[in-house]
Structure 1
Amino acid sequence: MVRMSDQDQETRASAERQLCGLVNGMAQRIAEHLRLRAARLGLTAPQATALRELSGPMTISELAERMSCEPSNATFVVDKLEKQGLVERRPHPADRRAKWLVLTPEGTDLRGRLLELLGEDSPLGGLSRDEQAALQGLLQRAIRPESRSS
């Protein structure tokens, strides 16, 4: 195994530090964008995230995975959305033990308004579709090292 020189290690560490800073900065901008748009609709950021991710019927576990949180946290958010009349729990068609989360007509309308607001001045809006796809691919490779080509 070839060992990197101290200079090469420092150069690599500096580049990684800068890249991590950019990724963190983008994540903060996206979170702030979501929070501000959610507030305009009387929602919290987690509620808006849940509505954004509820693109069709799904279980709490599926929603939690999409929200990048624990199922107990997703359940708390869904409970609030259910009390607001935006989400219903229905029997899962294939699993008697599970419930499906389904948007009500009001929830569907609010989700549509949310998606419109999220499209306004989006932090990623300055990137073309091809650039967004390239960024997505690079981030997926960074997050899932097993998907890197050998």
Structure 2
Amino acid sequence: MPLSTTITAVERIASAHRAAAVPVLHEVGLSETQGALLWALGGSITSDLTMSEAAAALSCDASNLTLLARHLESLDLAERIPDPADARRRRLTLTQHGREVVERMTRALDDASPLRALTDAERATLDELLAKAMDHAAASKDDNY
């Protein structure tokens, strides 16, 4: 099977996930890009990221991230707080309302995901394979510096 077939399948699954999230995002007044930031915050272990980590998660410039963060703040979905480890940095963290919206997005994605057709064991294997691919991507990126 050519790699392009796998890439197409991954893109179609990602597209289905974006389509499932859009109604929730529009309901709270978010674009897909703003929703991607909310999702990145919800996917972090601590529900917060430094502004530079958030920019890296979205592959965007820090100045663009500031605009996205301001919009999330204006809707009481996130707030910027001082980083306890370094007062020069700010962390973007989910509010309670932000966590509730992420939970609604998660339910919408769970209900609509094509990955529901996989067993738990198959999803575990897929997770391992995707982690391997992401590790390779990170290593390749590091090699370019």
What's the TM-score, normalizing by structure 1?
0.71
1:115 counterpart residue number: 106
The structure that has the greater radius of gyration is: 1
Q: In the TM superposition, what are the counterparts of 1:46-85 in structure 2 within 5 Å?
A: 46-55=33-42, 56-85=47-76
1:30 counterpart residue number: 14
Q: What is the CA–CA distance in structure 2 between the aligned matches of 1:93 and 1:53, rounded to whole Å?
A: 20
Unaligned runs of 5+ in 1: 1-14
Residue by residue over 1:14-60, the C-alpha shift from the partner in whole angstroms, topping out at 9 and shown as x without a partner, is x3xx3323323322331342244223331222222211221312212
Is contact 2:16-2:113 (8 Å) kept? Answer: no
Residue 98 of structure 1: CA displacement?
A: 0.5
Task: Label 1:141 to 1:103 Cα distance change in 2 as closer, same or farther (>3 A).
Answer: closer
Task: Label 1:76 to 1:86 Cα distance change in 2 as closer, same or farther (>3 A).
Answer: same
Is contact 2:77-2:94 (8 Å) kept? Answer: yes
Task: Label 1:129 to 1:65 Cα distance change in 2 as closer, same or farther (>3 A).
Answer: farther
* Coordinate RMSD, CA, aligned: 2.5
Aligned length: 131
Residue 90 of structure 1: CA displacement?
A: 0.8
2:88 counterpart residue number: 97
Structure whose residues are more often strand by fraction: 2
Give me the identity figure in percent: 33
Task: Label 1:28 to 1:61 Cα distance change in 2 as closer, same or farther (>3 A).
Answer: farther
What's the TM-score, normalizing by structure 2?
0.73
Structure whose residues are more often helix by fraction: 2
